[in-house]
Structure 1
Amino acid sequence: MKKNISLQFDYDSTDSSTWHLPEGAIARLGKGNSVTMTLSPNGTLLAIGSYLGLWLYDVTKRTPLSLWEVGTQISAVAFSACGEWIATSSWGGPIKIWDVESGNCLAELPRDESGGNSELIFSPNREWFAVGGTNRSSNPEKKLYCSVEVWRLPENLQEDATSNRPTRELLYVGTNPLAFSPDGSLLAFASPDGAPEPFNTNGYPVIDGRWLLDAGQVVVYELATGKHLTTLDGGKDVSSISFSPCGKFMAICDNGITKVWKVPALSSAEPQPWHLHKVYQEVEDKGYHNISYAPENRLLSTVYAYKDDAFSMHDLDNNEILYQHPEETGPYNIDYSHGTRLAFESENDVHIWIEGEDQLISLGHTAGFFVGPQQFSLDGKALITTDRHDGIFSWDITHSNDPPHIFKPLGMKPDSDGWGERYFCVEVSSEGKHFVTSGDESSVRLWELGADTPIASFSIQAEVSDAVFSSTANLLACIDENGKVYIWDIATGEIYDTYTTEKTHNSPYIEFSQDGTYLISRSGQIYDVVQRKPLDRYSSEDGIQFLAFSPNSSQIWCDWSGAGWGNYDSIDLWDILQDEKVSEIPKPNWWKPKYIEAFALSTCGQYVACSPDTWTRDGYICIWDIRNGDEPIVTFELTESISSLAFSLDNTLLASAGTSGAILLWDLTPYL
């Protein structure tokens, strides 16, 4: 079902973790997976487009001002030249132009629904607005849509005006990046072939029978006439284009090689040739490069080096490094489009660098991540979440606006093209200690949360796919990419046992029962830890989907939808020793399909939380009291699908994580 969420300003509220929550939620941890960001022309505002919506920040005060378009995955954002308008796009939705001061939507521009992410730019003279499609995958008809649209903007763009609406003037075959000349007379953009292409019947250009992997040409058009002026060689895959403020030069970057071309005068009736002025060759580091001119016509480059996980700003004209970020970052959402201030995202914050100033401006914006298993602390004051590549996040839920503490002791491996250390899960012992499992291509490790060195480290012959720890049994288990399971006794440091599971199409997965007596794999194979032998019960052919061990370790919650193509009508509690159903929870009739995306069982075993895979952007969380009734005691509705759920120890809180990259906390007290 559709969610109609009104646009609001939140200037009077300081706790952004409570803005625009779905009904029943009490707080949000994190601000969603960031996609793009841009500074206003005067540098006072920062707009961050995310899977959650559009965040607006006051840079001077370092505080969030508002959250717009909640529930919409923002794919691109741009300020107008004077900063009075801001444009946003979303996957499959229209492009919207907003009035920054009032927050009102002034115009909606239709966009082909097959398009993915887009680049948006306003011309400096405020006369034109351009949209570049970046959908680089084929559709079922083996046709690829790739277009640049140019809209003429009225002098006075007003809300609900019947006239003075933006009109689409020009349509080209092309893609990102885009750039206007300083006077707004020229538009340059990347092109797969460097020449105009025919249009299909619905007005969008089509390239038949092939994939568009790279756009190595740059075409330039005169906007007043729509005339194609030139095609320039951009290299293998153009990453950015920038005109100098004086208008005499245009630079094209191909991830490490930057070519600067002289821009000829347009006084002649015939197009004049463009001449190559200079070539900059940067270090070959398999990184991401983005260029932009500073106001005094210096050419600058931002560089993210994959191998070193390092980010830096370079003055190409003077062969000088202006800034190098001292911490791990990532190729995340860099904006230097105005050539005066640099905005970029690190692992757990957003920063703004200003040349000549000693200190970064850090906004305290905790971006989203892909949440794996979650675990509340015994006192219920902290939530521990896992991101396989970014580490273990510890959130103080009594101060939900605060950033999390991040546990990532080994960081990114230097000189490695791989992912480095991966973090799998957190086990909370009865004494309240938190144990973390991690691993890489040859080792598995056990840590106590916060420690600098592991409790134990063991070598294996293949890459680790998952690892779990049982504090009750004091055993560490891991499964490798080939389905082989290793179990170690932490007290002795010796191998306890090994066995091989049935291979599945999905990533290998294992989990201990609460008392450590059983170990289960994704295929449904159950291993008796005490007897040191597998139970000959289930295989992947049975279609079993393991959900959770019950407090009674001989009973598991499971779903059999794999055997019935998602149409199995109940969630079952199954006795693995007797091989029979103990009880069941009927799935609601409106679940279609009936696959389960996320599941959680309370520690006492009385409450079940479950989220279906809706195959849409709408999500639902159903909670049952298994002692009475077939209907959920409450159903929460969201604008995202859910990937992870967890109960607090006293059952009063539920944590949910989904596609937005943020975590929601739900108060269950009224329903228990």
Structure 2
Amino acid sequence: MVHTMKMKHTLFITIISIVGMLSNVFAQGNIQIGLPDAAIALFGKGGINTIHFSPDGTQLAVGTSIGVWIYNVQDRKEKSLYPGHHDEIHTLAFSPDGKYLAVYGFQNAIIQLWDMNSDLNEPILTFPEKPGRITKLVFGHDNNKLFGISELGFLAEWDIETGNRLSTQRYGKRGLVTAFNPKGQTLACGDPDNNEISLWDSANDSLGEVFKEKLNPNAGNTLSRILGGNQNNRKGPTGIETLALSPDSKTIASSHIGNIIKIWDVTTREERFSLKGHKEIISTFSFSPDSPILASGSTDNTIKIWDVSNGQPITTLTGHKNSIETLAFSPTEATLLASGSTDGTVRFWDTKTGKERSVFATGHTESIEAVAFNTTDTMISSVAANGTVQIWDIQTGKKLPSPSVPHYDSNSALVLSQDATLLAINGQDNNVRSRVSGLTMQTRSHRETRLLSLPTGDELKSFPHPSEYLALSPDNNILAAVNPREQVVQLWDINTGDKLFSFGIELSLHEKIIFSHDGQYLAIYGYNDQTQLWHVPTQEKIDIPNVKEISVIAFSPDNKTMAVEHPNVDGLRVIGLWKITQTGIEKHKEIIPEFRNGYTAKLLFSPDSKTLIQLHKSGWRSYIILWDIDTGVELDIVSGHIKNIQSIVFSHDGKTLASGSEDGTILLWDWEKIMMKIGKQ
């Protein structure tokens, strides 16, 4: 199984330091999760990056954005592995005898070895060095050695008894696409820049003869139309994106710009076939154990099965709702194919019949954008960027049935009500194509904004316009939407579907809207625009201080204060606290944070309005920073997610803080414990 560098998050994060890791353990069903200090629960398995069958076909390992899940193929029982800390797993490998599993964590840059015959509570070995940028791990055929391929152009070899490095050889320049078969020490390399495929010659420590493409008599005319000018000397599509080597090392499959697959003969080093069929880029390949069958997965949500002996398509597998990320054939059942998708599922297929056998595993959703508690704080719901809704029982940690809601490639706007009973979303289609000039992605927002009832998923209303940002009033009676087409903010009565009123705006890139906790006020703000504040019952605009470049606004739960992040007269980003009075808005005080690279993504008041929570993002890091509102003093910094935090909310009883992340997880934090730590209880 081989897959390309991903569209979704190719330049990944540096891991966030986890405070007091493993101080608590929470049982999520049969999953034991190590938690940061003050965290009481973790929900979610992380988005799927890679899947591998064990050599005997009885287990399936799934590498995700937070760790590894081991599934029993027969009964689907699962076990989670967390290599040291939570980590982004893009490559893993079983030893040929099935005894060991090697895992490489991207952020920690460590390789760990797990004994598959043990209880899998701890790795048996952590390699002493931290190899950088490993894209593939492969065991040697004798089970005693582990090979690692680095995107920096190095092939390393380790002794699995000690974890010590035995050798390092440079196979090529940085950024080559590779496929490796240790049986014959065959390393295939594809150059994304010049479209060349070659085999690395270990004896001469160099890349060998370049494979020969078939000449395309129509390529010149086609490229001339695309690029202009005479392109008759060009052979065909350039840019190698994905590479796979058959188990017998006799065949190479490569994907290229133009959504084209090429099949190569390793012995003759010549192209045999050029295959077309996918509408978007090919993201992953897998050869069947006996080599003649190739599966290709694409961002067009389909899997195609090809006979590489004659270059003919066999069937197309459909069922996934989002992009295909990874594929793996069973080593013991040639027609059993497993697929992992950004829709959060692992599916099993019969490649002979072209039918789906089962949705084998669920819950591997990533990019959580909204979270909310139900009114009794017994359940928590999340909504992912593609519209996937997940619901968990907080007491048992079990995932409840997910409602059937529309799936999208992404969204231009979504909002989850504070009681998790309503979801408003404007879906977006992404068309990812590879062309001569490089990778392109076209996005198209749907023309309607949908309002769905949860947990059933029933559609309640459809509002006839796209939305750039959405907000629901706390009583769930009003939907506010930024309509980019008409450059207005529209307020709709959810019960009747009637438009209540609207007002114009000067559209920039990041308009946001927020209701006060009592629903009396609606604020719209954008980094480059003048902020507007409206009194909803009277539909009157309220004068506010003349402050521009406001990036974040929050209302206090007692509806007496607005927190506003903006630059002061010296150009420093500060948090202004404005009092809401009967006569208008008055500046009260400023909190001047210590300078940090990045930006404030959200502000949130604590339930007692005494503490301000600042969600700060810097690169791929997120921090939850706590401020004393009376003194303006920084109290503490809380962190724990691997990727950026997208949403923070309090439970209705004010005792729990929830954070939802791009890594596909929700962390629940004991707010009282956090306050005790900083001496506020």
TM-score, length of structure 1 as denominator length:
0.76
CA contact (8 A) 1:27 1:664 kept: yes
Retained in 2: the 8 A contact 1:381–1:396?
yes
Q: 1:424 aligns with which of 414, 433, 438?
A: 414
* 1:237-386 superposed matches below 5 A: 237-254=239-256, 257-264=260-267, 274-276=269-271, 278-288=272-282, 290-304=284-298, 306=300, 309-317=301-309, 319=312, 321=314, 324-336=317-329, 340=334, 341-346=336-341, 347-353=343-349, 360=357, 364-386=361-383
* Shift in CA distance, 329/618, structure 1 to aligned 2, threshold 3 Å: closer
- In the alignment, does 2:85 pair up with 1:64? no
2:543 is equivalent to residue 536 of structure 1: yes
Q: Which residue of 2 aligns with 1:398?
A: 395
Asked whether the 8 Å contact 1:388–1:422 carries over to 2, the reply is no
Give the structure 2 partner of residue 449 of structure 1. 454
Q: Any conservation in 1 of the 2:552–2:602 contact (CA below 8 Å)?
A: no
Report the structure, 1 or 2, having the larger strand content.
Answer: 2
Partner letter of residue 180 of structure 1?
A: F
Structure 2 residue 500 is matched with structure 1 residue 480: no
How far apart, in 1, do the equivalents of 2:168 and 2:327 lie?
Answer: 29
User: Which consecutive residues of structure 2, in runs of 5 or more, have no partner in the other structure?
Assistant: 1-15, 117-121, 214-236, 427-444
Q: Distance in 2 between matches of 1:342 and 1:564?
A: 61
Shift of 1:588: 7.3
Q: Deviations over 1:597-637 (max 9, x none)?
A: 4433356646644443355647345376x6x8766787544
Query: What is the CA–CA distance in structure 2 between the aligned matches of 1:171 and 1:527, rounded to whole Å?
Result: 63
The AA in structure 2 aligned to 1:343 is A
Kept in 2: contact 1:182–1:243 (CA 8 A): no
CA distance in structure 2 between the aligned counterparts of 1:655 and 1:4, rounded to whole angstroms: 17
Distance 1:251 1:46 in 2: 24
- Percent identity, aligned pairs only, is 20
Hey, what does 1:49 align to over in structure 2?
63
Report what 1:118 is aligned to. 135
Cα distance change on mapping 1:185 and 1:380 into 2, 3 Å: closer
Offset of 1:434 from its aligned partner? 2.0
Give the structure 1 partner of residue 232 of structure 2: none
Q: What is the match of residue 36 of structure 2?
A: 22
- Quote the residue 2:502 is aligned against: 498
Compared CA separation, residues 158 and 634, structure 1 to 2 (3 A): same
CA distance in 2, matches of 1:608, 1:503: 29
8 Å contact 2:184–2:249 — kept in the other structure? no
Q: Which moved more, 1:40-49 or 1:311-320?
A: 311-320
Aligned counterpart in structure 2 of residue 467 of structure 1, from 438, 455, 470: 470
Find the aligned partners of 1:258 and 1:544 in 2 and give their Cα distance. Answer: 49
Structure 2 CA distance for partners of 1:384 and 1:63, relative to 1, 3 Å: closer
Q: For residue 566 of structure 1, report the CA deviation from its aligned partner.
A: 5.2
Contact 1:349/1:367 (<8 A) preserved: yes
Aligned with residue 655 of structure 1, among 654, 658, 681:
658
Q: Following superposition of structure 1 onto structure 2, how do residues 86-105 of structure 1 map, counting pairs within 5 Å?
A: 86-91=101-106, 94-101=109-116, 103-105=123-125
Answer yes or no: is 1:220 the counterpart of 2:220.
no
Deviation track 1:85-139 (CA, whole Å, cap 9, x = no partner) reads 4444444653525243471335355545xx5x73344454666724141xxxxxx
Label 1:545 to 1:178 Cα distance change in 2 as closer, same or farther (>3 A): closer
CA contact (8 A) 1:561 1:567 kept: yes
Partner of 2:208: 229
The worse-fitting range, judged by mean Cα deviation, of 337-346 and 228-237 is: 337-346
Q: Which amino acid aligns with 1:250?
A: I
Match of 1:434 in 2: 421
Contact 2:306 2:315 in 1 (8 A): yes
Unaligned runs of 5+ in 1: 134-146, 193-213, 265-272, 413-418
Partners in 1 of 2:449 and 2:554 — Cα distance? 24
CA shift for structure 1 position 645 = 1.1
Structure 1 residues 108 and 260, CA, compared in 2 at 3 Å: closer, same or farther?
farther
Q: Is residue 184 from structure 1 mapped to residue 204 from structure 2 by the alignment?
A: no
Give the AA of the match of 1:342.
L
- Give the Å deviation of 1:220: 0.9
Superposed CA RMSD in Å reads 4.0
Other structure's SS at 1:188 match: strand
Contact 1:31–1:365 (8 Å) recurs in 2 = no
- The AA in structure 1 aligned to 2:340 is E
Contact preservation (8 Å) 2:199, 2:208: yes
Code of the residue aligned with 1:96 in structure 2: it is: I
Query: In structure 2, what is the Cα distance between the partners aligned to 1:91 and 1:119?
Result: 11
- Asked whether the equivalents of residues 314 and 323 of structure 1 are also in contact (C-alpha less than 8 Å), the reply is no
- State the Cα distance separating 1:652 from its structure 2 match: 1.7
TM-score, normalised to structure 2, is: 0.75
The question of 1:643 aligning with 2:646 is answered yes
- Following superposition, the deviation at residue 330 of structure 1 comes to 2.1
SS at 2:369 equivalent: coil
- 1:425 to 1:174, Cα distance in 2 relative to 1, 3 A: same
One of 46, 51, 54 as aligned partner of 1:32: 46
Measured after TM superposition, the shift of residue 379 of structure 1 is 1.0
Match of 1:129 among 133, 144, 147: 147
What amino acid maps onto 1:119 in structure 2?
Answer: K
Query: How many angstroms apart in 1 are the aligned matches of 2:404 and 2:209?
Result: 52
Q: 1-side partners of 2:128 and 2:30: how far apart?
A: 27
Alignment partners' CA distance in 1, 2:585 and 2:161 = 68
| Secondary structure, aligned partner of 1:129 | strand
| Shift in alpha-carbon separation, 1:638–1:450, aligned structure 2, 3 A | closer
Instruction: Give the aligned partner of residue 572 of structure 1.
Output: 577
User: Compared with structure 1, are the counterparts of its residues 522 and 75 closer, same or farther at alpha carbon in structure 2 (3 Å cutoff)?
Assistant: farther
1:448 partner letter: S
Conserved? CA contact 1:602–1:648, under 8 Å: no
Contact map agreement 1:289 1:303 (CA 8 A) in 2: yes
- Write the mapping of 1:405-416 to structure 2, written as runs, cut at 5 A: 405-406=402-403, 408=405, 410-412=406-408
Seen in structure 2, the aligned counterparts of structure 1 residues 446 and 79 have a Cα distance that, compared at 3 Å, is same
Partner of 2:482, secondary structure, is strand
Question: Closer, same or farther in 2 for the Cα pair 1:174/1:669, shift >3 Å?
Answer: closer
Segment drifting more, 19-28 vs 526-535: 526-535
Instruction: State the 1:218 CA deviation.
Output: 1.0
C-alpha offsets along residues 219-245 of structure 1, whole Å, 9 cap, x if unaligned? 112223324332125753334434444
Counterpart pick for 2:604 among 600, 604, 607: 600
Distance 2:633 2:128 in 1: 42
Give the 3 Å change call, closer, same or farther, for CA 383–423 of structure 1 in structure 2.
farther
2:223 alignment counterpart: none
User: Secondary structure of the residue that 2:240 maps to in structure 1?
Assistant: coil
1:106 to 1:446, Cα distance in 2 relative to 1, 3 A:
closer
Q: 1:554 to 1:405 in 2, by over 3 A?
A: same
State the distance in 1 between where 2:246 and 2:494 align.
63
User: Do the aligned partners of 1:121 and 1:178 also contact (CA within 8 Å) in 2?
Assistant: no
- 8 Å CA contact 1:301–1:316 kept in 2: the answer is no
Classify the secondary structure of the residue corresponding to 1:425. Answer: strand
Q: Which has the higher contact order (CA 8 A, sep 6+)?
A: 2
